[in-house]
Structure 1
Amino acid sequence: MGLKLYHYSISGPSRSAYMAIKTMGIPVEVIIIDLMKKEQLQESFVKINPQHCVPTVDDDGFVLWESKAIACYLAEKHGREDLYPKEIKHRAIVNQRLYFDSATLLPHIRAINHPILFEGVKEIRKPLKDNLNVTLGFLNQFLSESKWVAGETMTLADIAISSSIATVSALDWDFSEFPNIQRWFKQCEAIAGFEENIKGATLYGQAVKKNLEK
């Protein structure tokens, strides 16, 4: 059967899983689940994933969702210690950065975008903008200490966080105070599937900016 990825490129986490799979060179069948058309609520997909979210993978009958769980599972399965190191302290840093994305960076991005997309909000509110900039400052600091976000080589943490930063960038965010992020994000162009990441983020950004214009 091989690996199937249920995917929607507007979703940052889904783009992250896609890039991880492409970076590992794993053959994959990509199945588009259009969230805007509520295809995630179709009975056939709910049977696969009752939480009906993307990304979801089906690996020869083993079903898993949550982008970071997917990336770590596949890296372990395919022996990609370069992306998810075995050495305990290096792995701990990679995990910390992954959790930083899930628990801090992504929530601040969503706090800005979701009210604009779904609640009729017409502006990026200053407190939310300030919160995101504080978080970007943390990332900028991480990148002052190493070439990549978790050391001197690219890991799953870079793949995950690059999907989030692509979303922020698509809002025409001012990164002038974060030169390390700018330097690192340019490096991320070498990540397999990064072009898809930018395309999906651009579509997301366009939807947000369209609602702001209204």
Structure 2
Amino acid sequence: MAKTATKSAKKPAAKAAAKPAAQAAAKPAVKAAAKPAAKAKAKSAKKPAVKLSMLKPSVNNMTVRVFARAAGLGADETDAWGHTRSPEFTARNPSHLTPMIEDKGLPRGVLWESCAIMQYLANKHGLEKFYPKAPAKRAMIDSAMFYLVGTLYPYVARATYPFLGFPQYAGEVGHSDAHPDKKSEAQKAAMAAIAEPLEVFHSFFRDGKPFIGGKNPSIADIRLAATLEFLAVVDYPLPKWAKEYMAAIEKALGKAYAEPAGDVRGYIAYVRSQAKA
């Protein structure tokens, strides 16, 4: 009887001792496995900052500055004012244009042109909210941006650059030695031409939607809204829809839009004050 009692007493004691020991051994293993996984997840969720060379008064540069912020990419910005013609800059970027991003994944390490930069970053980071993958939807975004760069922006540039103090395009009246009256006439013609492509964005690309991208601003919307900022320098009478559209984009994007836009607006205010002085 004593032998049986001893056996029965030993077994529960052994099990009771073994269970906490097993649990104690298991807990650190779970924690050790969980910590690296959590760290890895956090690390992959964080997108690297975009290394961006830019000029604050420019709406082309504003476009990428807005997009980088709105997309949560951050921006490691370098003000390239006065440095775009330096040997160091042109060695990397022979076009001497901004905005310019630097990325080791690019064949030549750098990329300029605002639309190309936004397309690249959206593709790289899977930002479908701003640049949809569906071929038909993407085609409309691309078409809107190409139409802006090829048709609307040249009119805006011809109308505003003389007031902004920006270099005029070679071969045009504004860049020539033509009489000031001829330059003024060309500038007014460019201003008059803005209305038609602007209406195309309203009636065709938006087509009753809040934005070109639908419910949310796309990269084409960011490019268009930024472009329209320059028209303030010539007091261009934007139609009601365009004013509401720009306000809606700024509301949707918040500080991501307002901060870079503030630099452009500040420069325009400075230019206007100098003209009055």
**Residue in 2 that maps onto 1:184:** 245
**Residue in 2 that maps onto 1:156:** 219
SS at match of 2:101: strand
2:59 is matched by which residue type in structure 1?
G
Of 42-51 and 117-126, deviating more is 117-126
The reply on whether 1:47 has 2:91 as its aligned counterpart is yes
Q: Distance in 2 between matches of 1:123 and 1:149?
A: 33
Q: 1:172 aligns with which of 221, 235, 253?
A: 235
2:212 is matched by which residue type in structure 1?
V
TM-score (norm: length of structure 2): 0.68
**Residue in 2 that maps onto 1:132:** 194
Structure 1 residue ranges (4+ consecutive) displaced by more than 3 angstroms after TM superposition: 118-125, 206-214
Q: 2:265 aligns with which of 202, 207, 211?
A: 202
The reply on whether 1:16 has 2:56 as its aligned counterpart is no
**Residue in 2 that maps onto 1:97:** 144
Q: Give identity over the alignment, percent.
A: 23
Work out whether residues 55 and 99 of structure 2, in 8 Å CA contact, stay in contact via their aligned partners in 1. yes
More helix by share: 2
Cα deviation for residue 173 of structure 1 reads: 2.1
Q: How many residue pairs get matched?
A: 209
Alignment of 1:61-140 (within 5 A): 62-116=109-163, 117=165, 118=167, 125-140=187-202
Bigger relative contact order, structure 1 or 2 (CA pairs below 8 A, ≥6 apart): 1
Q: Which runs of 5+ in 1 are unaligned?
A: none
Q: Distance in 1 between matches of 2:128 and 2:49?
A: 22
Q: Which runs of 5+ in 2 are unaligned?
A: 1-47, 168-173
SS at match of 1:154: coil
Q: Distance in 2 between matches of 1:105 and 1:212?
A: 26
SS at match of 2:84: helix
Cα deviation for residue 188 of structure 1 reads: 1.1
Cα deviation for residue 134 of structure 1 reads: 2.2
Work out whether residues 160 and 233 of structure 2, in 8 Å CA contact, stay in contact via their aligned partners in 1. no
Instruction: Assess, with a 3 A threshold, how the Cα gap between structure 1 residues 171 and 8 changes in structure 2: closer, same or farther.
Output: same
Cα deviation for residue 204 of structure 1 reads: 4.2
Instruction: Assess, with a 3 A threshold, how the Cα gap between structure 1 residues 91 and 141 changes in structure 2: closer, same or farther.
Output: same
Q: CA RMSD in A?
A: 2.5
**Residue in 1 that maps onto 2:26:** none
Instruction: Assess, with a 3 A threshold, how the Cα gap between structure 1 residues 114 and 166 changes in structure 2: closer, same or farther.
Output: closer
SS at match of 1:40: coil
Q: Distance in 2 between matches of 1:133 and 1:213?
A: 27
